[in-house]
């Protein structure tokens, strides 16, 4: 009788196991390629290999490339759990928390604090930073006499390697820092055009799609959107694009063309012209509309439902962009680059989009046909039958 524990074939493999392997019953795994094996093959220390994989600039680029080539040829794959553990160890060994710069460029130092989106992003960034052992410090790029080069020198003198760019005051802005020294990302809209950095933002297309879907489920049929042209531009027109797409999916009798204004705060007369012409039964827009409609005799929600597109407000139906989560995601983009020692604008920028969510509110209640039914077509007299009439 042959024992599969004593009789062997080749380098210590039991006969029975070899036979079983030949019949496909047992799989013999190859030796796992470790960092030590790569180091031995490359003729360097294990620490050098580790630093090469982390893109450490202290290792010459030619050496990094040679080690990566050898590792790829050997079939080396890093263990993700070990990589995460070592990243935490490196952070814990730092003297104090590493600082990430929060870079603003509003006309005055605290201008960004008047923008609810910037404030929410910053809150999310700071909360997440505290959880994972980093700290956030604010820097103002528009300070008199400040230049991109000078700001870069200040950050480097402070030992700051990570930069988070806040949403900028001006659209299509360019920031001329010495980016090759920093791991950077931005958050929010598309205000920064140069350089192209990793970005975290709300899923703006999904915001409008989600709002249309929620309002339709509540029974609204003629859904209109009203946006500022400036805000639309800051979001690369993604709100507007999705609104057109949603309208194109509706029967023609239910379509309401989007309202867009280049002078939002002074556009009330034009907005009301649009409303009385198209008679939407629900509007997705900004908070100013909550004043404009009642001032012209339109009751919310009896005559027209209303939902905010971006700014959460108590007692108002709205889309929650989860901006604090956007800020946390932007910070993760910076830390990922720091852990990999990747500095400068990325060759292929990433966009991390955070899902938004619909929040019900009394300004857009479920529509009961018996109580708020209104004709959306044109009657025999050629006039729309509406519960609210345009003032003469």
The domain segmentation of the chain, as residue ranges, is 32-78, 98-203+325-356, 204-321+359-372
Residue with tokens 């939902």: 307
pLDDT of res. 6 = 35
pLDDT of res. 354 = 97
Q: DSSP character for 258?
A: P
Residue with tokens 């070592």: 86
pLDDT of res. 149 = 94
pLDDT of res. 204 = 96
* CATH class of residue range 98-203+325-356: alpha beta
Please work out, in degrees rounded to the nearest 5, the angle formed at the alpha carbon of residue 51 by the alpha carbons of 50 and 52.
90
Q: Which residues of 181-219 are buried (b: 16+ CB within 10 A; e: fewer)?
A: bbbbbbbbbbbbeebebbbbbbbbbbbbbbbbebbeebb
204-321+359-372 has which fold?
A: Rossmann fold (3.40.50)
pLDDT of res. 25 = 43
Peptide bond preceding 195 in cis form (omega within 30 of 0): yes
Question: pLDDT truncated to tens, each residue of the chain (392 aa)?
Answer: 333 333 333 333 333 333 343 344 444 345 678 888 888 888 888 888 887 877 777 788 888 888 888 888 888 877 655 555 555 555 555 546 899 999 999 999 999 999 999 999 999 999 999 999 999 999 999 999 999 999 999 999 999 999 999 999 887 778 899 999 999 999 998 999 889 999 999 999 999 999 999 999 999 999 999 999 999 999 999 999 999 999 999 999 999 999 999 999 999 999 999 999 999 999 999 999 999 999 999 999 999 999 999 888 899 999 999 999 999 999 999 999 999 899 999 999 999 999 999 999 999 999 865 333 343 333 333 333 333 445 44
pLDDT of res. 14 = 38
CA atoms lying within 13 Å on the CB side of residue 306: 26
pLDDT of res. 96 = 61
* CA atoms of 52 and 169, how far apart (whole Å): 39
Give the dihedral of Cα atoms 230, 232, 234, 238; nearest 10 deg.
Answer: -170
Residue 225's beta-bridge partner residues?
284
pLDDT of res. 205 = 96
pLDDT of res. 310 = 84
The domain made up of 32-78 is a member of CATH 1.10.510.10: no
Burial (0-12, 13-18, 19+ Cβ within 10 Å), 249: exposed
How many CB atoms are closer than 10 A to CB 156?
Answer: 13
**Are the folds of 98-203+325-356 and 204-321+359-372 the same?**
yes
pLDDT of res. 112 = 95
Q: DSSP character for 262?
A: S
pLDDT of res. 79 = 67
Query: Which two structure tokens, joined as six digits, stand for 15?
Result: 């006969």
């Amino acid at each position: 009788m042959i024992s599969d524990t004593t009789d062997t074939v080749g380098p210590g493999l039991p006969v029975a196991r070899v036979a079983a392997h030949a019949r496909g019953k047992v799989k013999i795994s190859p030796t796992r390629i470790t960092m030590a094996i790569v180091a031995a093959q490359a003729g360097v220390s294990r620490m050098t290999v580790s630093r090469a994989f982390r893109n450490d600039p202290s290792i010459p680029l030619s050496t990094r490339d040679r080690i990566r080539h050898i590792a790829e040829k050997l079939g080396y794959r890093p263990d993700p759990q070990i990589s995460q553990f070592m990243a935490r160890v490196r952070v814990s060994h730092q003297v104090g928390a590493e600082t990430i710069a929060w870079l603003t460029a509003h006309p005055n130092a605290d201008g960004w604090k008047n923008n609810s989106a910037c404030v929410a992003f910053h809150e999310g960034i700071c909360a997440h930073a505290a959880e994972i052992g980093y700290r956030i410090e604010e820097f103002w790029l528009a300070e008199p006499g400040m230049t991109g080069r000078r700001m870069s020198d200040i950050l480097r003198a402070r030992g700051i390697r990570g930069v988070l760019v806040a949403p900028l005051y001006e659209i299509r802005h360019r920031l001329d820092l010495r980016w090759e020294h920093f791991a950077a990302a931005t958050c929010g809209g598309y205000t920064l055009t140069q350089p192209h950095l990793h970005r975290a933002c709300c899923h703006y297309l999904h915001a409008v799609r989600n709002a249309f879907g929620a309002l339709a489920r509540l029974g609204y049929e003629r859904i209109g959107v009203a946006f500022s042209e400036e805000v639309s531009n800051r979001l690369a027109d993604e709100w507007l694009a999705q609104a057109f797409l949603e309208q194109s999916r509706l029967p023609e009798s239910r379509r309401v063309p989007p309202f867009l204004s280049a002078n939002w705060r002074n556009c009330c007369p034009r907005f009301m012209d649009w409303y009385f012409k198209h008679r939407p039964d629900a509007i997705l827009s900004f908070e100013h509309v909550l004043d404009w409609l009642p001032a012209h005799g339109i009751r919310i929600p009896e005559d027209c439902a209303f939902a905010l597109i971006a700014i959460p407000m108590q007692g108002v139906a709205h889309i929650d962009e989860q901006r604090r989560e956007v800020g946390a995601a932007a910070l993760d983009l910076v830390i990922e680059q720091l852990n990999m020692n990747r500095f400068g604008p990325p060759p292929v920028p990433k966009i991390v989009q955070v899902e938004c969510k619909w929040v019900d509110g009394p300004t857009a209640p479920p529509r009961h046909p018996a109580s708020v039914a209104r004709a959306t077509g044109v009657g025999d007299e050629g006039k729309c039958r509406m519960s609210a009439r345009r003032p003469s």
